[in-house]
Structure 1
């Protein structure tokens, strides 16, 4: 009967505690600490001093609240995708047009000087094959012709300088001519490439400013 009263008193002091499976602790008047997992073993006079300890097999304890997470920095806004036409970006289209135009302009700017040099070489070659007589030489030659006393050596158009070399001057002329013709052909080729690229850009819907 006494044990039943103790159990009832314990349940009144510790409401909601399971009768078994928990650990209880109390200290007697001599300072000795007692432990039990059976509430019936607790003396009645120590019921008010009893401390219930977490049970190993009891209900899992809730984890301690975690520290508040630091607010994440806002993500940088995504860069808009670069526009592409025909699989190429604006910079790629501009680079293609610019490359062709720069090469063509360099050739066109250099052609006038090369053509002037070509004309000069042609004159040198022609002169080396003969000569341009002076007015007096022409008059003397005409007078001898009237007298019927002219010879081949009297012809003022014949170059009598043994150091003259028409072959060397001819070679220089044709070398420069080949250079001029090569530049002219390359300019035509670049013009055709530019026209084809512009047509390709039109079909791809490339904005007009990108082609400049």
Structure 2
């Protein structure tokens, strides 16, 4: 047993842990969106408004694989079969714009809902501090669980956008198609 323990400890240290990181995002008084990876760099006046975004390491895409087809894939079939000369990634402009637009609109909607849930959570915590009711604690737990689920979904969407952007870069998709 004494000889097995160091062996297993050494093996466990050699296995890489999945990489993940957190970013903090806030919008200043001028409407400019800022992001940082250090919570201490968020200005004091925006600490309550900063949202934490969990980002996991994106899955590696195979060299020849196109990005994941989404519901918008049916909007525009790959243009390679239509005889067009050079179509980046096997898809036309409409397909690329639809993919990026769909992901970004879902992200924007989710971030807006997340900020409303954060305001509700602040109100619930204030109510709990004043009245000390157990049902308020249950509501806080539920709101925190919803906020955590939203954070995970936002992180997933950011990863999908990054993966799609990487695939678009490798395919030579023009920047204006990624808007």
TM-score, reference length from structure 2: 0.50
Deviation at 1:80, TM superposition (A): 7.6
For residues 85 and 147 of structure 2, the distance between their equivalents in structure 1, rounded to whole angstroms, comes to 43
Deviation at 1:127, TM superposition (A): 2.2
Q: Does 1:92 align with 2:95?
A: yes
Deviations 1:79-124, CA, capped at 9 Å, x for gaps: 9837521111111111110110000001112222211110111121
Write out aligned runs for 1:166-177 (5 A).
166-177=133-144
Q: Does 1:184 align with 2:163?
A: no
Aligned residues: 98
Bigger Cα Rg: 1
| Structure 2 stretches lacking a partner, 5+ long | 1-81
Aligned partner of 1:118 among 121, 143, 165: 121
Aligned partner of 1:205 among 162, 169, 172: 172
TM-score, reference length from structure 1: 0.43
- Point out the structure with the larger helix share: 2
For residues 91 and 84 of structure 2, the distance between their equivalents in structure 1, rounded to whole angstroms, comes to 13
SS in 1 for 2:113: helix
- Kept in 2, the 8 Å contact 1:82–1:89? The answer is no
Q: What is the RMSD computed on CA atoms of the aligned residues?
A: 1.9
| Structure 1 stretches lacking a partner, 5+ long | 1-78, 130-165
**Structure with bigger RCO (C-alpha 8 Å, 6+ apart):** 2
